[in-house]
Amino acid sequence: MEHSIAAVQVRPSAKRKSWKHGAMTAGTLGWFLILVLLPVAALLMEACQSGPIAFLRGLQGEAAAYAFWLTLWTTILAVVINTIMGVLLAILLVRYPFPGKTLFDGIVDLPFAVSPVVAGFMFIVLFGPQGVLGRWFEAGGIKIVFALPGVVLATLFVTLPFVTREVVPVLREMGREPEEVAFTLGAGRWQTFWKVTLPTIRWGLIYGITLTTARALGEFGAVLVVSGNIIKRTQTATLHIHQEFTDFHYQGAFSASVVLGGISFVLLLLTEFWKKRHKL
Amino acid sequence: MPSRSGRFALSSDALIKAAVFSYVGLLVILPILAISFQALGQGLGKIWDDVLQPQAWFSLRLTFLSAVAMAIVNAITGTAMAWVLVRHDFPGKPVVNSLIDLPFALPTNVTGLMLVVLYGPVSALGKFLKVRGIEIIYAQPGIILALLFVTFPFVVRSVQPVLMELEKDIEEAAATLGAGRFATFRRVVLPHLLPSILTGVALAFSRALGEFGSVVVVAGNIPMKTQVAPVFIYGEIESYNPRGALAVSLVLLLSSLIVLILLNLLQRWGRERGT
């Protein structure tokens, strides 16, 4: 009885509510359209304006090829290392007690909070020619800053938390039981990890890897500071785009932007698509 | 058998711990300690002097004010977006939902490039606005626009899951008890969403304090006009003046540390609210 009264009371305002609903939906979507989608469309149009041949010509040249090649290898390296370390880190944070864990947990998030420029600067202070450790490395003939190891270090730093942050909640939700059952049934550590833990954390892990890849492909500030931006040596794809833009080679900057942004975006869309499909 | 597996477990535990601690130590803790000691080694007085240099101080002020402006706008629009995505039906909703993360996928300097293409002095829209006396690119509005773009998903993605779990029953109960729609929102829904809104805002704020790529492309590097703190630091490094860079870096680092601690408290508050 009470329930039906509530239903009756809700109904008269339904029409007015739907009008307000419509206005709110339109306003919010309009804001998103203007803020995010319009600039994306502007770049796409500008890049394709002179036709596909001009678009492709923008990607030509040794500097562009080298930049994309360097970004590819740096990304692969960062993804492999930070996937392994990220999973271990997540296991440590969820399964093992140790003193100072809350603090350590916070430290793992720091790369998200630190400005990319400050991140790059930190590596210069530490590993630069006058740096605390840099002097020592330099004496041994190893260059880190303004060289390829610096590019890799900066990328590793900015992508460190992604895998851990995606895997930790899944591990926590999974609990200890499945692993303990596997142990009891005589499975070894590796077997338990491969057959029980990994399948459970799979989707979180894949999502974390996608985010790592997108960020590694697109990192700009930290790499700019640490690499010295040396063409055909330490210049990655984002730095190449910046160089083309500041040199007034707009077609080159636009074409490379579309390719690089497109790759990251397609990766992200695919992951979301898989994720949804898997849940259904 | 048990003893063997026990010994194996012990050694691999120690191995995992050693590997993880030394990795995080080398990659994160050591660099942060190095830059902090380098800055503090000059003495607090000198750091304070460097921070108070007009250019440095201006860049820090501009960074914080822009971040606050961004945070207010994103708190409102992000919550509205999450609300529309969870509660309203419209054609193409799944597409919009997956496009929300677009700003996270794009390299930051590509974002800057996009805004320059759209609003720059050469574009049709840029010319239209310039005639009316509105300058966006190489001016302060461009900074806020770039910050709004790169931080857009934070509040949406933080509020969305909480809103999904929030039972519609509570709101209906409030409505049945005679509360108007606005009163229901303010008294019932908002308190529930507040921890998640603030979490999203804090994440966005911390990102905005450090944002470099999009802002340097959009706003340029004009001292005392569009130079934000990360761009100032970059300029000082490029001109071999590590002192100014160190002091401002230290301020930014401390600020992100404070935001992180606040975030931690917020999440704890949210969890207590949840149960």
ipTM comes to: 0.90
Nearest to B83 by CA among B158, B195, B172, B191: B158
Of residues A166 and B6, the one with the higher pLDDT is A166
A276 to A28, A145, A170, B89, B226: CA distances (angstroms) = 24, 42, 16, 19, 42
Out of A123-127, A274-278, B204-208, B235-239, pick the least confident: A274-278
CA dist B87 and B80 (Å) reads 10
Out of A113-127, A220-234, B46-60, B255-269, pick the least confident: B255-269
Question: Has residue B258 got a pLDDT over 70?
Answer: yes
Q: What is the pLDDT of residues B218-257, one digit of tens each?
A: 998 899 999 999 999 999 999 988 888 999 999 999 999 9
Tally of residues, chain A: 280
Q: Does B264 touch chain A (CB under 8 A)?
A: yes
Of residues B225 and B8, the one with the higher pLDDT is B225
Question: Has residue A276 got a pLDDT over 90?
Answer: no
pLDDT of residue B2: 42
CA dist B143 and B227 (Å) reads 9
Test B113 with A253 for CB contact under 8 angstroms.
yes
Out of A171-180, B172-181, B202-211, pick the least confident: B172-181
CA dist B158 and B265 (Å) reads 15
The model's confidence at residue A10, banded by pLDDT at 50, 70 and 90, is: very low
- Chain B residues within 8 A of A6 when measuring between CB atoms: 172, 175-176
pLDDT of residue B194: 92
Test B115 with A214 for CB contact under 8 angstroms.
no
Q: What is the mean pLDDT of residues B138-151?
A: 96
Chain A residue at shortest CA distance from B236: A121
A222 to A150, A151, A219, B209, B234: CA distances (angstroms) = 10, 8, 7, 15, 10
Q: What is the pLDDT of residues A52-64, one digit of tens each?
A: 999 999 999 999 9
Q: What stretches of B88-189 show up as alpha helix (H) in DSSP? A: 93-99, 102-105, 108-119, 124-131, 140-165, 168-176, 181-184
Tell which CATH classification among 1.10.150.240, 3.40.50.1000, 1.10.3720.10, 1.10.10.10 matches the domain A61-277: 1.10.3720.10
Chain B residue at shortest CA distance from A102: B264
Q: What is the mean pLDDT of residues B160-185?
A: 79
Q: Give the residue carrying structure tokens 């004010």.
A: B65
A27 to A22, A137, B175: CA distances (angstroms) = 8, 57, 25
Interface test with B, best of A43, A84, A107, A115 (most B CBs within 10 A): A115
CA dist B107 and A260 (Å) reads 8
pLDDT of residue A214: 93
Collect contacts of B245-248 with beta carbons under 8 A, ≥24 apart. Answer: B245/A121, B246/A125, B246/B35, B246/B38, B246/B39, B246/B42, B246/B47, B246/B50, B247/B39, B247/B46, B247/B47, B247/B50, B247/B51, B247/B56, B248/B50, B248/B51, B248/B56, B248/B59, B248/B60
pLDDT of residue A17: 59
Burial of B94 (0-12, 13-18, 19+ CB in 10 A): exposed
Out of A35-39, B7-11, B266-270, pick the least confident: B7-11
pLDDT of residue B34: 94
Question: Has residue A18 got a pLDDT over 90?
Answer: no
Q: What is the mean pLDDT of residues B145-153?
A: 97
pLDDT of residue B252: 96
- Chain A residues within 8 A of B83 when measuring between CB atoms: 24, 28
pLDDT of residue B15: 86
Question: Has residue A273 got a pLDDT over 60?
Answer: yes
Test A88 with B16 for CB contact under 8 angstroms.
yes
pLDDT of residue A279: 62
B251 to A118, B35, B140, B191: CA distances (angstroms) = 11, 12, 22, 33
Q: What is the mean pLDDT of residues A142-149?
A: 93
pLDDT of residue A6: 44
Concatenate the DSSP letters of all residues of A198-221 into one string: HHHHHHHHHHHHHHHHHHHHH--H
pLDDT of residue B165: 85
The model's confidence at residue A1, banded by pLDDT at 50, 70 and 90, is: very low
Among the partner-chain residues B23, B109, B260, the one whose CB lies closest to the CB of A220 is B109
Q: Does B156 touch chain A (CB under 8 A)?
A: no
- Chain B residues within 8 A of A267 when measuring between CB atoms: 105
Question: Has residue B133 got a pLDDT over 80?
Answer: yes
Q: How many CB atoms are located within 10 Å of the residue A274 CB? A: 14
Tell me if residue B4 falls in helix, strand or coil: helix
CA dist B165 and B162 (Å) reads 5
Half-sphere exposure of A31 (CA within 13 A, CB side): 19
Chain A residue at shortest CA distance from B238: A225
**Mean pLDDT computed over every residue of chain A:** 89
Question: Has residue A94 got a pLDDT over 90?
Answer: yes
CA dist B193 and B79 (Å) reads 9
Nearest to B208 by CA among B252, B160, B157: B252
Out of B1-10, B46-55, B141-150, B186-195, pick the least confident: B1-10
pLDDT of residue B9: 52
Q: Does B152 touch chain A (CB under 8 A)?
A: yes
pTM for this model (two decimals) = 0.91
Concatenate the DSSP letters of all residues of A247-274 into one string: TT-HHHHHHHHHHHHHHHHHHHHHHHHH
Q: What is the mean pLDDT of residues B78-97?
A: 92
Q: What is the pLDDT of residues A22-50, one digit of tens each?
A: 899 999 999 999 999 999 999 999 999 99
Among the partner-chain residues B113, B149, B207, the one whose CB lies closest to the CB of A43 is B113
pLDDT of residue B67: 97
Burial of B159 (0-12, 13-18, 19+ CB in 10 A): buried
